[in-house]
Amino acid sequence: MVGRQQDQTEKFTGYHSLDLTNKIYQVKALRLISTLNLHPAPSILELGSADDSFLQLVCRQTNGRGRGLDITQGDDLEKPFRIKSGSIDLVLALEIIEHLFDTDHFLSEIYRVLKPGGYLILSTPNLASLTNRFRLLVGAYPQYLEYSRAGAGHIHLYTPRVLLAQLSAAKLKIVRLTSPNFLCPFITKPWFPQLFRDFCIYLGDLLPTLGSHLIVVASKQSVNPACSRGKKK
């Protein structure tokens, strides 16, 4: 375990998080954030924030204040977060859950730090993508799944149904399931027309369970005070 953490720390030290050209899930996350009913000047937590460059962009666009936790900053996301309970309006967890062993603890900590009514935006590779279905059909290894420490460090891959089930078990209400991209291998190329790029991103909304990655918006439900008091005797 210590060796793996050292691998990950070395691998992502100096890593630049923000890349709207190649990381289409960041583009989709920004669009999703713009649709949320966030408080003015929301408190934002990014898990796996690297150099905080994407977090800083989100804070500028929402007029929010942010905090990032990352292994390269000495944070262990499989231990309690150093964040006050019920203090966060928006948690970002983009391409991080697949790197963790204890995903149940990870989600329970997200639930703990969220304010009632707060949101989670989580992305992860899709084991059940259309590409992976074809790869398995011909005996090829699934995309993004790794068997060696030499890779990016992916431990778990999710299907849409399993991801939604685990989020629901963590008491997070599913608001939306989408995908950043559907079967568009050239979407990150500089010569690819913006109109087609937007169309491929839109296809992720129509066919989220077949896209290369999954993006889920979930929320921590507010507690109705009248219900919490129970019935009068």
Cα(85)–Cα(108) distance, integer angstroms? 11
Q: Which residues pair with 93 in a beta bridge?
A: 122
Amino acid type, 42? P
Q: Under a CB-based contact definition with an 8 Å cutoff, are residues 155 and 124 in contact?
A: no
Which ranges in 66-159 belong to alpha helices (H)?
Answer: 103-113, 130-137
Q: Under a CB-based contact definition with an 8 Å cutoff, are residues 124 and 100 in contact?
A: no
233 residues of the chain, pLDDT tens digit each: 565 666 667 667 777 899 999 999 999 999 999 999 998 999 999 999 999 999 999 999 999 999 999 999 999 999 999 999 999 999 999 999 999 999 999 999 999 999 999 999 999 999 999 999 999 999 999 999 988 877 788 999 999 999 999 999 999 999 999 999 877 878 888 888 989 889 988 999 999 999 999 999 999 987 654 444 444 43
Identify the CATH class of 2-11+19-219.
alpha beta
> Can you list the pairs that 52-55 forms with residues at least 24 positions away whose Cβ atoms lie under 8 Å?
52/17, 53/16, 53/17, 53/18, 54/17, 54/18, 54/26, 54/92, 54/94, 55/17, 55/92
> Structural domain boundaries of the chain?
2-11+19-219
Residue that the structure tokens 């005070």 belong to:
225
- Following DSSP, what letter does each residue of 192-203 receive, concatenated? S-HHHHHHHHHH
